[in-house]
Amino acid sequence: MAYLQIAHFIIRIVMLILLKILPKRLMSAITGFLTNVPFPKWFLKGFLKMFVKVLKVNMEEAVYPISHYRTVNDFFTRPIKQSQRPIDSNPDTIVSPVDGRVIEKGDIVNDKALQIKGMPYSITELIKHEDFSRKFLNGHFITLYLSPKDYHRIHLPYNGTGIATEYNRGALFPVNNLGLHNIQNLFAINERLTTFFETSFGLGALVKVAAVNVGKIKTTYQQPWTHKEMKQKRSIFASLDSISYAKGDELARFELGSTVILLFEKDSITFVDGLGSGRFLKMGETFAHIK
């Protein structure tokens, strides 16, 4: 038993060193390039069939069969049948914006939310704009992880008006268990894109966290900054032209998979019973009620 513990410790240290020294941005750029290459149909179809089989992707939910997709990224961002993701139309409920597994959820204590149990991180570091981050002090949060097999589009969890967005350039550490358990302040140091919404129950934020091998985060609204600005600045904040969204409207998509964090103001919501870490939520499934 002692030998196994020592071996596990050594493996963990080696993995942490690799996490630090590997050229994650270069790896992500290469992955992004390859996933957008229109490979020969016979090759792509064979690769996707293997991917579907190994990860047990439910293709019965997809709008199109495997033969329809021209690139790997087309497959990852595939649409699914609306009938497979009914949206709870009750105006007093908040639904999951994605297909994803709950990493953590709960109350924000002062400005601290949980990355995982025992590892807090700062909301004021996650969101750099002070006037907006202050709104979520002692509020509520939920973090959802999208695996490579999951549906990769992000939808509105409530009715709201998009009023602002913030981009934070950062690292590209993995957001799987390896990163979650070993990288302090993971979500606050990784690259991320946040959209802010005015709602009937206060300010809401939807944070889209990038990771290694996540090619891009694309939004349905026009980004109010240039690619050059994103490369030159660590943090950019801009207002949006009051974009109205209904619950369930598409907001963005991950080109591979990553993490979404939802933030709510103090005393604005209550989570449904039985919502614990590890639970899988489908997009459109209720996870909270508006107070």
Nearest alpha-carbon partner for 67 in 52, 82, 84: 52
User: What pLDDT, on the 0 to 100 scale, is given for residue 26?
Assistant: 74
CB 97 within 8 A of CB 206: yes
pLDDT tier for residue 97 given thresholds of 50, 70 and 90: very high
Tokens describing residue 211: 């990771």
pLDDT grade, residue 24 (50/70/90)?
A: low
- Enter the DSSP assignment of 249: -
- Number of residues written out for the chain: 291
pTM for this one? 0.90
pLDDT of 277: 93
pLDDT band at residue 188 under the 50/70/90 scheme: very high
Stretch 89-113: mean pLDDT: 96
Name the β-bridge partners of 235. 168
206, 205, 210, 204: which is closest to 187 by C-alpha?
210
**pLDDT tens across 128-150, in order?**
999 999 999 999 999 999 988 89
Q: What is the pLDDT of residue 234?
A: 81
Q: Among 257, 140, 158, which Cα is nearest to 208's?
A: 257
Return the H-helix or E-strand segment holding 164.
strand 160-168
pLDDT tens, position by position, 221-253: 887 776 667 676 788 999 999 999 999 999 998
Please indicate whether residue 203 or residue 179 has the higher confidence score (pLDDT). Answer: 203
Largest Cα–Cα distance of the chain, in whole Å? 60
Residue 72 backbone dihedrals phi, psi, to 5 degrees = -65, -40
- Is the per-residue pLDDT at 23 higher than 60? yes
Coil, strand or helix: which one is 237?
strand
Q: What is the pLDDT of residue 173?
A: 86
Task: Flag whether pLDDT at 1 surpasses 60.
Answer: no
Average predicted confidence (pLDDT) for the chain: 89
Element (H, E) at 279: none
Report, in this order, helix, strand and coil percent for the chain, each rounded to 5.
30, 30, 35
Q: Which two tokens stand for residue 50?
A: 């293997």
Give the pLDDT of residue 111: 96
Give catalytic residue positions: 99, 155, 258
Share of the chain above pLDDT 90, in %: 65
CA distance 231 to 31: 19
Q: How confident is the model at residue 30 (pLDDT cuts 50, 70, 90)?
A: confident
Taking residue 165's Cβ as centre, other Cβ atoms within 10 Å add up to 20
Cα–Cα dist 173/20, whole Å: 8
Contacts of 265 (CB under 8 A, 6+ apart): 135, 136, 139, 140, 201, 202, 203, 204
CB atoms under 10 Å from CB of 191, counted, come to 21
pLDDT of residue 80: 94
pLDDT tier at 20, thresholds 50, 70, 90: low
Question: How many alpha carbons lie under 13 Å from residue 112 in its C-beta half-sphere?
Answer: 9
